[in-house]
Amino acid sequence: MNKEPGMTVIVKTVTRLTVGIILMYGIYIVMHGHLSPGGGFAGGVIIALSFVHLMLAYGKEVAFKKLSMPVASVLESMGAILFISVAFLGLVGGYFFFHTLGKGEPFSLLSAYMVLFSNIAISLKVGCGLFLVLITIALAGKEIKK
């Protein structure tokens, strides 16, 4: 079992069972950011942690198969563009960051659309950015060890 990269069988099995739950919890935190504690920053870091968890247990190849570095860069830029476009949408109503997307009904999931879309954009940006940084540091550490 030691031929393939990664940790032991116990760690791999537990990872296979938990990594999906961690990812879903991150998405839940992002989507409910305007109703309950959490939001784009916490959810983004949790999403990054789920991929990091995969990388630590299975080696970098498996993690790259799920989310490769070019895809992560593109997603990070998409987050930035989405956030800026939410901001520019305010120019329709008056000024930068104006609240044009409706407010919806409070205490329901689809409400406060500006906060919702900004949360999604921030979570993409934070998650992919931190994943890229950690992957790069881990690979550099492996370089030194040789």
Partner 1 sequence: MTYFLCMIIFAIGLYAVVAKRNMIKIIIGIMVMEYALNMLFVLFGYRQGGRSPILEKAQTITNIVDPLPQALILTAIVIGLATTALMVALAVRIYEKYGTFDITKIRKLRG
Partner 2 sequence: MTDINVILMLMIVGSIIAVETRDMLSCVVVVGVVGLFQSLAFLVLKAPDLAIVQLVVEILSLVILLRVIIRKEASEPQHHPDYFPMLVGITLSLLALLFVHPILRELPQFGQPVMRVAKEYIENGMKATGATNLVSAVILDFRAYDTLGEAVVLFTAVCGALIVLRKTGRKKKGEPETEA
- Residue 105 interacts with partner 1 (CB under 8 A): yes or no: no
- Out of 17, 105, 140, 145, the only residue in the binding site for partner 1 (CB under 8 A) is 140
Distance CA 41, CA 18 (A): 21
37, 70, 92, 145: which one binds partner 1 (CB under 8 A): 37
∠ CA 29-34-36, nearest 5°, is 60
22 binds, among partner 1, partner 2, none (CB under 5 to 8 A by kind): none
Distance from C-alpha of 108 to C-alpha of 138, rounded to nearest angstrom: 41
- Answer yes or no whether residue 73 interacts with partner 1 by CB under 8 A: no
- Minimum CB–partner distance for residue 137 and partner 2 (Å): 6
- SS3 (DSSP) at 104: strand
Task: Provide the minimum distance between the beta carbon of 43 and partner 2 in the complex, in angstroms, as a whole number.
Answer: 9
Question: For residues 145 and 67, is the Cβ–Cβ distance under 8 A?
Answer: no
Verify binding: residue 137, partner 2, rule CB under 8 A: yes
41 binds partner 1 (CB under 8 A): yes
Determine which helix (DSSP H) or strand (DSSP E) holds 106, and give its type and residue range.
Answer: none
Return the residues of window 32-61 that contact partner 2 according to CB under 8 A: 33-42, 45-46, 48-49, 52, 56
Give burial (CB, 10 Å; 0-12/13-18/19+) of 47. Answer: buried
Q: Are 79 and 122 in contact (CB under 8 A)?
A: yes
Positions touching partner 2 (CB under 8 A) are: 29, 33-42, 45-46, 48-49, 52, 56, 69-70, 72-73, 76, 80, 83-84, 87, 97, 99, 102-107, 111-112, 114-115, 118-119, 122, 125-126, 129-130, 132-134, 136-141, 143-145
